Structure 1
Amino acid sequence: MWPLGLYKSVVRVLFPLRQNPVQEVAAELFGVSQATVSRRWNTLLPAVEKVLAGHVPGPAEASAGRIVLIDGTLVTTWDRASEGTRMFPGKHRDTGFNLQIAATLAGDLLAVSEPVPGSRHDTFARGQSHFPEALTEREKLGDLGYLGTGMHTGRRKPPGRERSAGDNEANRSINTLRTAVERAIAHPKDWKVLATRYRAPTRFPAVIKCHQDGHSPRLPQKGLVTPP
């Protein structure tokens, strides 16, 4: 029943999380059938998540005394005809999920939200993630996409006028600080399952949960990923 054995079966589950190969390729490398690869994935992926859950601090604890940077990123997936419009953001001209990333000023990853369809705005995705509740007592910085959320953001150009010197200086200061969140976004994307086009959108939330160990803390609230 378990031709690979438990250890190799777990390795076989972790391998596609890191490298994102098609199942036929994984089967060839491990010397088993594609059906065996699929069964191990479906059986052990939830088990890996449960075993590793709880080994990282919660976001409130991890961010204590820190300013939190928040930004969104698109993680591409294959298109599905029934989901194409919802998954396709005009800004990126590609299909995928919107992930909200919370990070420190040092670029350390604090949290990754549960994915929402890529067509949804960052403000909506942030609200769905419950970041406001998880990080309620923290000073937070975001880009202009988060105007009106209570976060510290830059200032838009007034209609028919140029920004004042003070506004320009404030925007430069905020943008300089926010570069750290781009480094934090790069951490989860060093796994090819997020850096390349994932093939099974319906399973994507579970993949997000399981790949984050060592990158971000556990977020137990509704609407937030609970990484292992």
Structure 2
Amino acid sequence: MEDPDPPAVPGRMWALGLYKSVVLVLFLLRQNPVQEAAAELFGISQATVSRRWTALLPVVEKVLARQIPDPAEASAGRIVLVDGTLVTTWDWASEGTTMFSGKHRNTGFNLQVAATLTGDLLAVSAPVPSSRHDMHAWRQSAFPEAFAEREGMGDLGYAGSGLITPRRKPPGQERSTGDKVANRSVNALRAAVDLKDWKIFATRYRGPLTRFPLVAKTVTALAFYKKGW
């Protein structure tokens, strides 16, 4: 059988076969290093890292897309927890642009994440600029239709969405004892799944903004693949 990663010609950089090229793409998603660091680790040039990333990321997403379940089917018989998460982007999107989140004082994308009470992932929405609040992102996603027949929960940012949310403090008044008890019960259950173990979500995304939706879909597919869907 032909060696998928043949040895380099003496005096040249190592060639990177298909198997290790896919490993490289997964490494970039998981650890989010600068490409120069990945190049040194894999024994190739930064230009090769860039070419492999550009060529293979859409292939990985396409191959794993079937791992993403239909949200309505995956949530059947379950309570759905919904939360928004901020994925920060590089600082060339600054205050005053549509990418700037006043709440987080940072630039990035808003992703809506749906999970079960036990933290099993159900769905991840397409990204929207983080200048838009969770209620807007919820309405723009497929979640309202997918979870229309499910009991759902969210934080106060989803008030009016039909989800169960904590009770707001009445203007000029204190919350009643019943409201405080109800809010503790809601907040205790809101332990949604966290995708930030994928460092490209947890640390600042440095790539072109136009490519981030593909990154988000690929990480979502990998998260479901890891769970065995």
Match in the other structure for 1:147: 159
Alpha-carbon distance in 2 for matches of 1:117, 1:56: 23
Relative contact order (alpha carbons < 8 A, sep ≥ 6): 1 or 2 greater?
1
Structure 2 regions of 5+ residues with no counterpart? 6-14
* Aligned residue type for 1:13: V
* Partner Cα distance (2:147, 2:222) in 1: 20
Aligned pair partner of 2:92 in 64, 68, 80:
80
Whether 1:101 aligns to 2:109 is no
**What amino acid sits opposite 2:176 in the alignment?**
S
Deviation at 1:40, TM superposition (A): 1.0
Measured after TM superposition, the shift of residue 216 of structure 1 is 3.9
> Alignment RMSD, CA only?
1.9
Match in the other structure for 2:203: 196
Shift of 1:82: 7.3
Q: Relative to structure 1, is the Cα distance of residues 81 and 96 closer, same or farther in structure 2, using a 3 angstrom cutoff? A: closer
Residue by residue over 1:157-201, the C-alpha shift from the partner in whole angstroms, topping out at 9 and shown as x without a partner, is 1112222222222111111111x21xx12xx11111111111013
Conserved 8 A contact 1:112-1:216: no
Note the alpha carbon deviations across 1:127-151, whole angstroms, 9 max, x for none: 1112101111111111111111111
Distance 1:98 1:50 in 2: 23
Q: Which residue of 1 aligns with 2:213?
A: 205
- Aligned-pair distance for 1:83? 7.9
In 1, Cα distance between equivalents of 2:52 and 2:100:
31
- The alpha carbon displacement at 1:80 in A equals 2.4
Question: How far apart, in 2, do the equivalents of 1:147 and 1:81 lie?
Answer: 29
Any idea what the Cα deviations from partners look like across 1:103-125, whole Å, max 9, x if unmatched? 11111111111111111100001
* Preserved CA contact (<8 Å) 2:67 2:224: no
Range that drifts further, 160-169 or 89-98: 160-169
Letter in 1 for 2:200: V
Query: Which deviates more, 61-70 or 21-30?
Result: 21-30
Distance 1:142 1:13, change over 3 A: same
1:47 is aligned to 59
Provide the aligned length of Structure 1 versus Structure 2.
212
Give the ranges of 4+ consecutive aligned residues of structure 1 lying more than 4 Å apart after TM superposition.
81-84
Q: Which amino acid aligns with 1:211?
A: V
Among all aligned residue pairs of Structure 1 and Structure 2, give the percentage whose two residues are the same amino acid: 71
SS in 1 for 2:167: coil
- In structure 2, distance between residues paired with 1:198 and 1:83: 17
Are the equivalent residues in 1 in contact too, given 2:93–2:107 (CA < 8 A)?
Answer: no
TM-score by length of 1: 0.86
Who is 2:70 aligned against? 58
**TM-score w.r.t. length of structure 2:** 0.86
**Deviation, structure 1 residue 50:** 1.0
| Structure 2 residue matching 1:213: 3-state secondary structure | helix
Report matched runs for 1:171-190 at 5 Å: 171-178=183-190, 180-181=191-192, 184-185=193-194, 188-190=195-197
1: distance between equivalents of 2:224 and 2:95? 29
- Structure ID, larger Rg: 2
